[in-house]
Amino acid sequence: MPAPLLFVVSGLTLYAGAAVAVGLFDTLGAPTVGWWRIALAAVVLLAWRRPWRRRWTRRDLVAATLFGVVLAAMNVVFYVAVDHLPLGVAVAIEFLGPVAVAAVTGRGWRERAAIVVAAAGVVLLAGVTLGTVPREDAVIGLTAVLAAAACWAGYIVLGKRVAGAGTGIDGLAVGMAAGAVAFAPFFASSTATVVTDVPLLAFLLVVAVCSSVVPYVLDQVVLRRVGTASFAVMLALLPATAVVVGAVVLRQIPTWPELAGLVLVSGAIAMTART
């Protein structure tokens, strides 16, 4: 399956999980939902992959652990951001992470130009505006989303290292487990509430599978095929997928700026295409 099509599948599941996650913020709080997303995804991946059967080197374990901690941090701070900012604003600003990666790791003018085009498309798709956001929310949200952007850049670089080392999805399983453990002291106090509420646990499991297991497994597949710069550009397909799904499923007709954003994102992907 072509890498861009894998990103479309990833985006579909990611936004389905996000829709469920937002509905849980009032019950557990945004950062706690972010941690449970990682913790339950780790359980699913460990049960599926059983990575202890692999022979691990110290270097591979360290790389997977760092990758997982950065991944967990990215999820927690992004959920804090979307709890204080409009989703479109958060998505657009967080895209600074992939922009930085493509700018630094791009090997030619084509990849660097493509990331500029993709970034412009993401801004148009997100409809960025802070006009109605209270000042306190804006400060907290912007701080959190900039931290998420930095983590996203780290996720791409470290994820490429894990994929390139050959550990792939097994490395993802180990990393997620490490990330869940690293943040457990801050969020594990919610365990009694979650495990005694079966519907709540079921919704969290849906979030974990849709927003973490499927997208991050597909990321590992794509990262083995393409460079970090091309991967960073392809991430622009995520907000583009949301607009297309809204148009097809919810009859939310795209505005002219959104259509322009879709064209720009499509053009950026075409610029990084390989024969």
Lowest average pLDDT, out of 31-35, 82-86, 107-111, goes to 107-111
> With bands split at pLDDT 50, 70 and 90, how would you rate the model's confidence at 252?
low
The number of distinct structural domains making up the chain is 1
Per-residue H/E/C for the chain: CCHHHHHHHHHHHHHHHHHHHHCCHHHHCHHHHHHHHHHHHHHHHHHHHCHHHCCCCHHHHHHHHHHHHHHHHHHHHHHHHHCCCCHHHHHHHHCHHHHHHHHHHCCCHHHHHHHHHHHHHHHHHHCCCCCCCCHHHHHHHHHHHHHHHHHHHHHHHHHHHHHHCCCHHHHHHHHHHHHHHHHHHHHHHHHHHHHCCHHHHHHHHHHHHHHHHHHHHHHHHHHCCCCHHHHHHHCCHHHHHHHHHHHHHCCCCCCHHHHHHHHHHHHHHHHCCCC
Greater confidence (73 vs 274) lies with 73
Structural domain harbouring 166: 3-271
pLDDT (average), residues 237-266: 77
- pLDDT of residue 80 exceeding 80, the answer is yes
> With bands split at pLDDT 50, 70 and 90, how would you rate the model's confidence at 226?
confident
Greater confidence (141 vs 164) lies with 141
